[in-house]
Structure 1
């Protein structure tokens, strides 16, 4: 039986017919994770509880001589005990301190790299080797890289230089590595007594955690250092370390707010004259607020300053005076605490 004749018009219509209508949002399904897939994702794994998360890019700024190297050398030893290989790159150490640093790292099992101590080598060579390593199929899980300091790796004020380096380090974390950048803060703090990172503002958005170390030095050579998380992608805790005069590090059980104490001391220094005059007025039994203001004005302290000090130092953990309200409207009486 002969084949049925094919209608040419039918073929043309089929070829150029409009496709069946589809949902323009169907492509999104290729990028959507199900609850079952999400359940297979691991929760953030802390290497150091409350502080260091595996696979994160972390920046830790502190003032020069603020305890960051001492603390992170101690934490590096702790991470080794937790079965991590720690590579500590220190380009911010003097020749006089290097010997003790090498001995401590060797005893703890830390892989210590000192590029500036090797003839013809520098941090630039470290970065070049990291780039070559990162271009391979290397697995960096269970590896922690501590860079001391970030400033020695690139020009932190130059956005392009910092961006390129952070791209490399981010790629290392994608291979499972944990990267910790120790950095410097500016010379001056903000109005709350907290430090400010020395480099560009873009860094905050490029890292997983930005954690400040705020030091308080003591006359005996010891130091209290509080940890202040600024930007986090995990539950980073506020904590406090104590560094002894012989550089032994211990974590305190309770958090001590060093920045708050420092801000309080600074304010008391600025308010010292007003505090002394208010104290003299109260000791002279001029305890009514209007009488205190009059007494201080006689000694060159403005009403605005006196009122602010009376209010501020009547509260807090260690008040300088106590306030009582009188029977008359808005009358206040002050007594030394």
Structure 2
């Protein structure tokens, strides 16, 4: 019976009984009933003393032993990146598992803000490693498709799965109806597809191997500019990996000294990229290895000179002689050229002249390639330009971008088939809502990790569109830009914008949504997050600021700070922020401000910005007025004593925010006293100002 199955277990990460270890302790075992008991009554111990399991009955922590002989009776999931609550996961697992039993629980490091969790799924029959590994991968794929990101370390053959251990937040959710999971039946199509994909990847590398073998046999000195180029024509990356003892799975490889068992090196386009820092080929993101680099690193410990000598003498041949010998013969023959021939006028380099770069005569062709001034986002973003829109979270940048985009489609400015909205920063619910809008209005919705689309490959996709002359008229909207490039890295950001600039130069359109910093500048204005590359290399840039919010209506203002066309300098909108409404209802609530409303919104923003700059001083005065009404001199003295703000600053702020209109920024008013004395009182319906920061304090004191 499955209830009698005992999985390998231990206490703490250093518990081992492997023959090559100095300190050995026999492994424990744990059954399904014991696991369920721990789910209901979790241990409460430090992680160093926490119990774990390996979902195999083989008593070993050696990944090679598990891959060869392990019998697996459980799939599992480790969720560390803000997963949904267990109650929501329950509905998801019901669908993913087709009604099978499972155990789910919060991990010891779970908090209310990040409800980390694990899910255990018992199998109705044992699986060998190959089938189990595919099932684990499919399980992870299914969750990731729902924007639930698992830790894929669970695909390793001997990865430790820690059992329930109560921390700050612990809840559990179980289904125990005696229905154990059969992935070979439920996921038969997915498993077959994975197996076929691995075989296709393997065959692709095999075909590449045959092509290079043919090139190696027919190699000529003229085929490549140097020995390294010739080596890369004659050899593949994978043959040197296999020669060095790497294990292969499709187009992925595992280095022979791996401790985790992960196939962490991937071969693509004739290069290998290693992700494990224990792999000799690991470069820490500084580039992938070609065949020669692999050979030099693995067989000559990175000694390029030694690798060149051996390769030229022993590994490459031109006809019946070695590459180095053929190179020597060619050099000797070239010495027979006379000095007169070398100095022949036809062979002399022409003097440098800037005129060869002149574009004169190309104006008609370039004009034909120009796009008319057509708005993609009415009054905001022009066709054939790179536009960036900055905004703080919850300002409405996605909502307003979609509103403007749909308006542009309705007006016939652009065709939906040429618009690609890339939604890379959303929940699963948000994705579905926006996908329905895309389907309704006929534009394309792309999402990373869905249907093979990858955010980090965007520059490559742009390059393909440019190479295929397919960029003209295409509109890409990136929501948000930080998902496609590292905005904090000047070199990476600049490289990305080089691709973007070339895409736009070929007639493409790029609209990028981006974030601002949490803290504003000394003038109370929003500050763009990251480097300046998006703006420097873009054509148009806007800042979207919230101006006001009352009665569940938010007012926002687009302010342009860079343009290369007839775009609006400012544009205002309102939309509903009422709780509980559907996204489509919120979208329908968007309204553009008329001239009068726009002026009012602009004034409100000016008042809000000024109040933001004066918030520390305003709070200091209100702290005193909260206790009682007070004469001006006494009020200034008390506020100065408590806050150390200068009396000059206090007097100015006292004057600026005195009046009876709360919406115009007034926070206190004057009650006439005896003998024309000015008694200040706090204005009613006051809403607390933002919490003052250190920057506010320095501004108030004039530092």
Q: If the length of structure 1 is used for normalisation, what is the TM-score?
A: 0.72
- Structure 1 residues 322 and 172: CA distance shift in structure 2, 3 A: same
Which deviates the most, 245-254 or 67-76? 245-254
Query: Residue 231 of structure 1 is aligned with which of 540, 548, 562?
Result: 562
Residue 148 of structure 1 and its aligned partner are, at CA, apart by 0.8
Which deviates the most, 208-217 or 252-261? 252-261
Q: Where does structure 2 lack aligned partners over 5 or more consecutive residues?
A: 1-352, 671-675, 684-703
Residue 117 of structure 1 and its aligned partner are, at CA, apart by 3.7
Residue 152 of structure 1 and its aligned partner are, at CA, apart by 0.6
- Structure 1 residues 189 and 322: CA distance shift in structure 2, 3 A: same
Which deviates the most, 106-115 or 228-237? 228-237
- Structure 1 residues 222 and 311: CA distance shift in structure 2, 3 A: closer
CA contact (8 A) 1:274 1:305 kept: no
Residue 233 of structure 1 and its aligned partner are, at CA, apart by 2.0
Q: Partners of 1:133 and 1:29 in 2: how far apart?
A: 27
Deviations 1:133-161 (A, max 9, x none): 111222513x3211111101111111222
Structure with the bigger RCO (C-alpha within 8 Å, sep 6+) is 1
**Does 1:177 pair with 2:508?**
yes
Aligned residue for 1:272?
A: 619
Q: Partners of 1:117 and 1:221 in 2: how far apart?
A: 35
Query: Residue 305 of structure 1 is aligned with which of 617, 634, 649?
Result: 649
Aligned residue for 1:110?
A: 443
CA contact (8 A) 2:384 2:508 kept: yes
Residue 321 of structure 1 and its aligned partner are, at CA, apart by 7.7
Residue 72 of structure 1 and its aligned partner are, at CA, apart by 0.9
CA contact (8 A) 1:186 1:195 kept: yes
Q: Partners of 2:459 and 2:357 in 1: how far apart?
A: 38
Q: Partners of 1:266 and 1:139 in 2: how far apart?
A: 44
Residue 189 of structure 1 and its aligned partner are, at CA, apart by 1.4
Residue 209 of structure 1 and its aligned partner are, at CA, apart by 1.1
Q: Partners of 2:624 and 2:657 in 1: how far apart?
A: 13
The 5-angstrom pairing of residues 181-260 of structure 1 reads: 181-215=512-546, 218=549, 221-234=552-565, 235-245=567-577, 246=581, 247-248=586-587, 249-253=590-594, 254-255=597-598, 256-257=601-602, 259-260=605-606
Deviations 1:84-132 (A, max 9, x none): 13211111111121111111111011111112344x5421244422221
Residue 70 of structure 1 and its aligned partner are, at CA, apart by 1.0
CA contact (8 A) 1:45 1:53 kept: yes
* Secondary structure at the counterpart of residue 193 of structure 1: coil
CA contact (8 A) 2:377 2:401 kept: no
Aligned residue for 2:608?
A: 262
CA contact (8 A) 1:212 1:230 kept: yes
**Does 1:62 pair with 2:408?**
no
Aligned residue for 1:90?
A: 423
* Secondary structure at the counterpart of residue 535 of structure 2: helix
- Structure 1 residues 101 and 274: CA distance shift in structure 2, 3 A: same
Q: If the length of structure 2 is used for normalisation, what is the TM-score?
A: 0.37
- Structure 1 residues 29 and 179: CA distance shift in structure 2, 3 A: closer
Residue 227 of structure 1 and its aligned partner are, at CA, apart by 0.5
* Secondary structure at the counterpart of residue 507 of structure 2: coil
The 5-angstrom pairing of residues 43-58 of structure 1 reads: 44-58=373-387
Residue 174 of structure 1 and its aligned partner are, at CA, apart by 1.5
- Structure 1 residues 30 and 91: CA distance shift in structure 2, 3 A: closer
- Structure 1 residues 217 and 104: CA distance shift in structure 2, 3 A: farther
CA contact (8 A) 1:211 1:227 kept: yes
Q: Partners of 1:43 and 1:265 in 2: how far apart?
A: 43
CA contact (8 A) 1:144 1:177 kept: yes
Aligned residues: 293
Aligned residue for 1:131?
A: 463
Residue 31 of structure 1 and its aligned partner are, at CA, apart by 4.9
Q: CA RMSD, aligned part only?
A: 3.9
Q: Partners of 1:65 and 1:318 in 2: how far apart?
A: 23
Q: Partners of 2:380 and 2:483 in 1: how far apart?
A: 24
Aligned residue for 2:493?
A: 162
CA contact (8 A) 1:277 1:296 kept: no
Residue 226 of structure 1 and its aligned partner are, at CA, apart by 1.1
Residue 47 of structure 1 and its aligned partner are, at CA, apart by 3.9
- Structure 1 residues 194 and 306: CA distance shift in structure 2, 3 A: closer
Aligned residue for 1:80?
A: 409
CA contact (8 A) 1:194 1:214 kept: no
- Structure 1 residues 296 and 32: CA distance shift in structure 2, 3 A: farther
Q: Where does structure 1 lack aligned partners over 5 or more consecutive residues?
A: 1-23, 287-291, 324-331
Query: Residue 480 of structure 2 is aligned with which of 149, 153, 157?
Result: 149
